[in-house]
Structure 1
């Protein structure tokens, strides 16, 4: 269940050295996850309304392999590593062609409206297995 999301590096994404500012990779992988969830047919607003839960990032373990630069065409590849009742672990890789630029393992959980941990909705767990 892999997902590919294209990204173009804009001037605003870069730092004084002309390379992608390190925190922007987190934005890139977030956009890719949001697009992946939408592509699965998961309506996060309905999930909040009907199930009373939202997704939250619990942990990110990231590695920076090569710098990306202004006007680079990148692709964020997202794959599911593990799904349990309480968490979803995903691997995300940012590539420039075949070159690995950035990689992260992201743990997603659900929280309720008071910020307390909650189980992933059953329909979503089934969809991801």
Structure 2
């Protein structure tokens, strides 16, 4: 899920108090995959993936280690019909910069190969 300070400020301080919320749209997008609330940000993670799948070549799902709602979301994400690669990174105090960079580089390589294959198939 994208989270920027400006976005959080816009929704939390201005739009949500006025009754304008993205929550209903996000939950509706996640509904085919989640039939009930799993707690935390599980709905939002799946819903945002569904809503933004057409805009990106791949998604990076950052989640706290042992967070059950995010573990549920992690297992649902590959099975959605949008067919977009998802790299899940579970963060804890043991995660290293080197390990993170290696996984990100490998994911970007995968996305580049997929893009080239799609481009070659269009010819």
Superposed pair shares fold, TM > 0.5: no
Higher relative contact order (CA 8 A, sep 6+): 1
Question: Higher strand proportion, which one?
Answer: 1
Question: Higher helix proportion, which one?
Answer: 2
TM-score (structure 2 length as normaliser): 0.30
TM-score (structure 1 length as normaliser): 0.29
